[in-house]
């Protein structure tokens, strides 16, 4: 983490000038590099690279991290009295390509800037150090374009991560099945399943409710949940792995599902019983399909 911050600081030091200014309220900040042009105007937005660390050099945030969101702040014609503080004043004064650093006491940072209590374990008299660089100042039209580009990029990144995780899940489930000599069918989405009993009732549609019994386990055999009484639930509210298989099964069927994590509870898991990126096994008995 500290190496990431060091890289950001070193990039800001490319043309150091060490000139210090003060905001109207007296908050000092030092230019590492002076940018160009004029500060943003009211109604515009400022896009920042930012990192900050506490008095113990622990990094609390850095936009240099791959999965960090950009720091995007509105520029106001005037800062309301209720929001006035030195940190906000600094951001209103910055120009394109400015790079600065400043220190602010923890008490003022939390209670005034962030309007929160000082966290336990943080010395309210200690100082936080900020490193800030202005990437872009944009109007409303450019903001809309930037947000569209950003979300397209994030969606593409998320889809790539999902594909990579599915690849790992597929190998893990395949190894598990091969180790036990289990032959399972596979859906295009990546769920493996074994039909133990084929029923003769109707197959559910995604907008219908299904009644079922189930037992859920991890691949290591740890049971995390089981039904005691029949459960009735809309099929389209169940995890994706259930939806793709149950829609193929007529009521009265029994099946074992081997669900990759991305079609179950994903990277967030379902604490405390299901860890992140967990492949799951479900023993399911589809009792009935409830017509709308």
Q: Report pLDDT digits (tens) over 169-207.
A: 999 999 999 999 999 999 999 999 999 999 999 999 989
CA distances from 120 to 34, 58, 265 (A): 37, 15, 32
Asked if residue 49 belongs to a domain, the reply is yes
Predicted confidence (pLDDT) at residue 2 exceeds the cutoff of 60: no
44 and 127 belong to one structural domain: yes
282 and 213 belong to one structural domain: yes
Query: Two tokens at 162?
Result: 């999902």
Asked if residue 149 belongs to a domain, the reply is no
Predicted confidence (pLDDT) at residue 42 exceeds the cutoff of 50: yes
pTM of the model: 0.66
Interval 221-271: pLDDT, tens: 999 999 999 999 999 999 999 999 999 999 999 999 999 999 999 999 999
**CB count, 10 Å around CB of 21?**
13
What per-residue confidence (pLDDT) applies to 171? 96
Q: How far is the C-alpha of 37 from the C-alpha of 185, rounded, in Å?
A: 64
The domain total for the chain is 2
175 and 236 belong to one structural domain: yes
113 and 197 belong to one structural domain: no
283 and 205 belong to one structural domain: yes
71 and 180 belong to one structural domain: no
Domain with 37 in it: 2-138
Q: How far is the C-alpha of 11 from the C-alpha of 19, rounded, in Å?
A: 18
173 and 202 belong to one structural domain: yes
Asked if residue 241 belongs to a domain, the reply is yes
Residue 83 or 142, more confident: 142
42 and 111 belong to one structural domain: yes
Match 């949940």 to its residue by tokens. Answer: 225
CATH number at residue 59: 3.10.50.40
Asked if residue 73 belongs to a domain, the reply is yes
pLDDT band at 13 (very low <50, low <70, confident <90, very high): very low
Predicted confidence (pLDDT) at residue 144 exceeds the cutoff of 60: yes
Asked if residue 25 belongs to a domain, the reply is yes
Asked if residue 143 belongs to a domain, the reply is no
Asked if residue 144 belongs to a domain, the reply is no
Predicted confidence (pLDDT) at residue 82 exceeds the cutoff of 70: no
Predicted confidence (pLDDT) at residue 7 exceeds the cutoff of 60: no
Residue 56 or 7, more confident: 56
10 and 133 belong to one structural domain: yes
Residue 18 or 206, more confident: 206
What per-residue confidence (pLDDT) applies to 76? 85
37 and 109 belong to one structural domain: yes
What per-residue confidence (pLDDT) applies to 70? 79
């Amino acid at each position: 983490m500290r190496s990431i911050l060091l890289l950001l600081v070193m990039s800001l030091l490319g043309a150091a000038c060490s000139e210090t200014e003060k905001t109207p309220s007296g908050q000092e900040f030092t230019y590492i590099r002076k940018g160009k042009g004029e500060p943003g105007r009211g109604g515009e937005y400022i896009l920042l690279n930012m990192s900050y660390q506490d008095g113990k050099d622990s990094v609390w945030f850095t936009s240099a991290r791959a999965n960090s969101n950009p720091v995007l702040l509105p520029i106001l014609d005037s800062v309301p009295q209720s929001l006035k503080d030195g940190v906000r004043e600094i951001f209103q004064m910055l120009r394109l390509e400015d790079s600065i650093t400043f220190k602010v006491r923890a008490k003022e940072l939390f209670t005034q800037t962030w309007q929160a209590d000082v966290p336990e374990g943080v010395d309210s008299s200690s100082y936080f150090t900020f490193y800030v660089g202005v990437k872009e100042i944009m109007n409303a039209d450019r903001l809309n374009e930037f947000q569209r580009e950003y979300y397209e990029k994030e969606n593409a990144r998320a889809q790539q991560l999902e594909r990579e995780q599915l690849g790992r899940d597929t190998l893990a489930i395949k190894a598990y099945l091969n180790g036990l000599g289990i032959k399972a069918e596979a859906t295009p989405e990546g769920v493996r399943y074994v039909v133990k009993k084929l029923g003769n009732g109707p197959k559910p549609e995604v907008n219908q409710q299904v009644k079922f019994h189930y037992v859920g386990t991890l691949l290591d055999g740890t049971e995390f949940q089981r039904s005691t009484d029949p459960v009735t639930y809309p099929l389209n509210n169940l995890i994706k792995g259930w939806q793709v298989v149950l829609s193929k099964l007529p009521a009265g069927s029994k099946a074992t599902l081997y669900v990759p994590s991305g079609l179950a509870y994903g990277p967030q898991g379902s604490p405390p019983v299901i860890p992140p990126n967990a492949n799951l096994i479900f023993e399911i008995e589809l009792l009935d399909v409830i017509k709308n």
